[in-house]
Amino acid sequence: MPVPLLDVNAQNHPLEEELTAAFSRVLRTGRFILGDEVEAFEAECAAVIGAGHAVSMSSGTDALLAAFMALGIGPGDEVLCPAFTFFATAGCIARTGAIPVFCDVCPVSFNLDLESAAARLTPRTKAIVPVHLFGQAADMAGLGAFAAAHGLRVIEDVAQAIGATYQGRGCGTLGAMGCFSFFPSKNLGGFGDGGLVTTQDGEVAEQLRRIRNHGMHPRYYHATVGANFRMDALQCALLRVKLRHLGAYTAGRVANATDYIARLSRLPGVGQALAGDGGEAARIVLPQAAADRGHVWNQFTLRVPGPGRRDALKSHLTARGIGCEIYYPVALHQQACFKQLPAHAIQACPVSESLTGEVLSIPVYPELSAAQCDEVIAAIADWLHP
């Protein structure tokens, strides 16, 4: 039985009637840019996330860019971000003219390592971007204290973590702004591109609304340069249907991840620590959810240490028809486009570099059936003990 890494149709087809009705509703209004559907979607997102304000954007990438623009980040500024994340986190910093300064990550949580960040501070550092990678919150208490001590603004990259919590509080409400994505592979997956910025500050929300609409206020008057970062009314109407199911989607991911951890950890050779981390060397290291965090499992990411081992497991799973992917094969400080950055921005990040050779994400999407889970676990067991 093939097991894809993600099956968007399994999620969307049961909603076909409701989605078609939402499409027809917008079609009949003829209102495709901003308007009621967009406002309703934003209000519903703000409520689900627990944020004071939510401003929709054309993508998660544009949400990040708009957030940096709202802070006035630009040439001469530096912004701390992890080296192990999707490109957009850093790409948006660079597009403002500021310098992304790449920090290493924690090998267990995959999230930003504050010691590494502290070592890269300069008088030009203006902001820090924790990414709640794979669906788990970064260490926001530590990060908040660090940011406060050094006068840094915090922009959360919540693209992979809608619904995730840190000590009971929603990700996206813990910094100055939170940036979300509705790319189809994210936990609230749209029908194309979409994004959102949350903030607790009403004035910042107004500023974001202007930025996404050419900096225009009032009509045809432009005090600042913005862009077209608007999310389609159609996309908002369709996502309103799916937003009502987000809790169930998250519960499905959590159930699958919990099942994987319980059953995979019984296999000899599978553990939650590497040699040197204190325990006996594991051939496959499982991801961990910290006790004070509500992990929403956008990805279930294994570490497979040892030269060629990860690629061997990937080939084995692929041959068995099991979808798996490497998120991410190159650390950002080693990307060609950042070669010209000043040396302190692209210092070695040994953990990120080793993770790129060890990580492998396996299917964890909510609609995964029990039989499909069995299949994935059996394939891993066969690889470990042929």
Ligand X SMILES: *Cc1c(COP(=O)(O)O)cnc(C)c1O
- Give me the 189-218 binding string for ligand X, x by CB under 6 A, dash otherwise: ----x-x-----------------------
Name the residue nearer to ligand X (CB basis): 65 or 373: 65
Q: How far apart are CA 354 and CA 271, in angstroms?
A: 18
- Give me the 50-69 binding string for ligand X, x by CB under 6 A, dash otherwise: ---------xxx--------
* Residue among 264, 265, 282 nearest 273 (CA): 282
Q: What share of the chain is helix, strand, coil (3-state, %, to 5)?
A: 40, 15, 40
Of these, 96, 181, 198, 356, which contacts ligand X (CB under 6 A)? 181
Question: Residue with CB nearest ligand X?
Answer: 60
Question: In angstroms, what is the minimal distance from the CB of 95 to ligand X?
Answer: 12
Using CB under 6 A as the binding rule, whether residue 89 contacts ligand X is answered as: yes
Using CB under 6 A as the binding rule, whether residue 109 contacts ligand X is answered as: no
Q: How many residues bind ligand X (CB under 6 A)?
A: 15
Question: Which residues of the chain form beta strands (DSSP E)?
Answer: 53-57, 78-82, 99-103, 125-128, 153-157, 165-166, 169-170, 177-181, 195-199, 270-271, 284-285, 293-294, 300-303, 359-362
Q: How far apart are CA 77 and CA 145, in angstroms?
A: 21
Using CB under 6 A as the binding rule, whether residue 6 contacts ligand X is answered as: no
Name the residue nearer to ligand X (CB basis): 146 or 182: 182
Using CB under 6 A as the binding rule, whether residue 157 contacts ligand X is answered as: yes
Tokens 């986190």 correspond to 89
Q: What is the DSSP string of 303-340?
A: E--STTHHHHHHHHHHHTTB--B-S-SS-GGGSGGGTT
Using CB under 6 A as the binding rule, whether residue 165 contacts ligand X is answered as: no
Name the residue nearer to ligand X (CB basis): 84 or 260: 84
Q: How far apart are CA 322 and CA 134, in angstroms?
A: 19
Name the residue nearer to ligand X (CB basis): 41 or 383: 41
Question: In angstroms, what is the minimal distance from the CB of 193 to ligand X?
Answer: 6
Name the residue nearer to ligand X (CB basis): 78 or 193: 193
Using CB under 6 A as the binding rule, whether residue 86 contacts ligand X is answered as: yes
Question: In angstroms, what is the minimal distance from the CB of 113 to ligand X?
Answer: 16
CA neighbours within 13 Å on the CB side: how many for 271?
A: 13
Q: How far apart are CA 155 and CA 178, in angstroms?
A: 6
Using CB under 6 A as the binding rule, whether residue 301 contacts ligand X is answered as: no
Question: In angstroms, what is the minimal distance from the CB of 28 to ligand X?
Answer: 28
Name the residue nearer to ligand X (CB basis): 160 or 235: 160
Question: In angstroms, what is the minimal distance from the CB of 306 to ligand X?
Answer: 27
Name the residue nearer to ligand X (CB basis): 131 or 317: 131
Name the residue nearer to ligand X (CB basis): 61 or 199: 61
Burial class (CB in 10 A: 0-12, 13-18, 19+), 67: buried
Helix, strand, or coil (residue 86): coil
Could you give the C-alpha distances from 357 to 304, 309, 327, 339, in angstroms and in order? Answer: 8, 9, 10, 20
Name the residue nearer to ligand X (CB basis): 68 or 383: 68
Tokens 């066969």 correspond to 382
* Residue among 154, 208, 149, 161 nearest 186 (CA): 161
Question: In angstroms, what is the minimal distance from the CB of 134 to ligand X?
Answer: 9
Question: In angstroms, what is the minimal distance from the CB of 61 to ligand X?
Answer: 3
Q: Which residues bind ligand X (CB under 6 A)?
A: 59-61, 85-86, 88-89, 131, 157, 159-160, 181, 183, 193, 195
